[in-house]
Amino acid sequence: MMERIVVKIGSSSLTSAEGGLHKPNIEFFASELAQLHQQGKQVMLVTSGAVAAGFREIGYESRPKLVHQKQAAAAVGQALLMQAYQECFAQYGIVTAQILLTRHDFSNRTRINHALMTIEELLSQRIVPIINENDTVSTAEIVLKFGDNDHLSSLVATMTRASKLVIITDMDGLYTADPRKNPDATKIERVEQISNELLELAGGAGSAVGTGGMRSKIEAARIAMRGGVPTFIGRVQQQGDLVSALNGNGRGTYFDTVQNSLPMKKQWLGFHSTPSGTIVIDQGAVLAMQEKHKSLLPAGVISCNGEFHPGDVVEVMDVDGRIVGRGVVNYASWQLQAAAGLSTEEVQRRLDVQRIEVIHRDEWITL
């Protein structure tokens, strides 16, 4: 398979501070992506910018805050955004395609499989898919967003089993502190594991026209790494910067991974499914599931919360409230409450359950 690259560009890189598209920036990024395309790589672009591109055109003085206003701005801006991309890529003889996705698409296994098949066909025809969140039909998503599409880019990268994910930002990587405020801040060149301490370094919000800060980019990198996709977060501002980023000498931070790409079933389970409840397990069960790749048995369960049924997805946590992973449960919540902490023999004697495992290892993903 050809090398497959996902590049994510945020609103602040495509629009002016006041709103509206900044055409020279789009021309620059199209030229950078065209280089990869001409090298024979399969290129996917995850782009933000629809709301930022449209709110001035629709007559708003600043980026709107009400959902219906954002959706109206996105409806205008998405057309402008795609027109700009099509014109810029056409200079290099490259055809582009628009794909709009929502969180609901990812949570539905049938819909996301169809989206994947469409992307695969476009790539086989040497067409560049341009992917954005479908803001005009989203509800809570348009407020919460995918982190200015950072999260979306990681989901696309894992879904398509990309070779690399590049998240473009105005910072040249992750620092030990904000370099704009602290002269002693040093850049972190490479990351092999994302800890909670590292996330705290990333800080919070994005720019006035975007919604993603460095933290959302680090969280996206964590998803991509878990799915076996190495990630680069950094600056692409000069000609050749994107190629340099892929060659290992870019202006940013590299997030390495030794994980293999996940099957679609595991991706859906870990990143797209909606848990119906939670199960708290003891430390012995945590070690058995994470390190020994064992199934979860009733003896390791301390408690459960929520109402769920066999076949539902549940989130599993340790006694300190840390998420261990997700899995498909074989018990109803009332059954598990009765079985928690009991031995296999005792459960078989007391309860009528189809399978003794609370969660089978084949229906489980460690997070």
pLDDT computed for residue 240 by the predictor: 96
pLDDT computed for residue 131 by the predictor: 97
pTM score, whole prediction: 0.84
Same domain, 170 and 310: no
CA 229/CA 218 separation, integer angstroms: 13
pLDDT computed for residue 141 by the predictor: 46
CA nearest to 234, candidates 9, 2, 5, 3: 9
Domain annotation covers residue 31: yes
Please write the tens of the pLDDT for every residue from 203-262. 644 444 444 478 889 999 999 999 999 999 999 999 999 999 999 999 999 999 988 888
Same domain, 20 and 94: yes
Same domain, 140 and 93: yes
Q: For residue 188, which amino acid is it?
A: I
Same domain, 259 and 292: no
Same domain, 259 and 287: no
Same domain, 241 and 285: no
- CB half-sphere exposure, 163, CA atoms < 13 A: 11
Residue 269 CA, chain-centre distance (Å), reads: 14
* CATH assignment of the domain containing 239: 3.40.1160.10
Same domain, 43 and 90: yes
Number of domains in the chain: 2
pLDDT computed for residue 143 by the predictor: 40
Same domain, 154 and 235: yes
pLDDT computed for residue 206 by the predictor: 44
Q: Which domain holds residue 89?
A: 4-265
CA 156/CA 165 separation, integer angstroms: 9
Q: Tell me which of 236, 265, 294 is where a domain ends.
A: 265
Same domain, 245 and 295: no
Pick out the chain residues at pLDDT < 50. Answer: 141-144, 204-212
pLDDT computed for residue 317 by the predictor: 97
Domain annotation covers residue 349: yes
pLDDT computed for residue 273 by the predictor: 87
- Token representation of residue 118: 């469409």
Same domain, 258 and 324: no
pLDDT computed for residue 132 by the predictor: 95
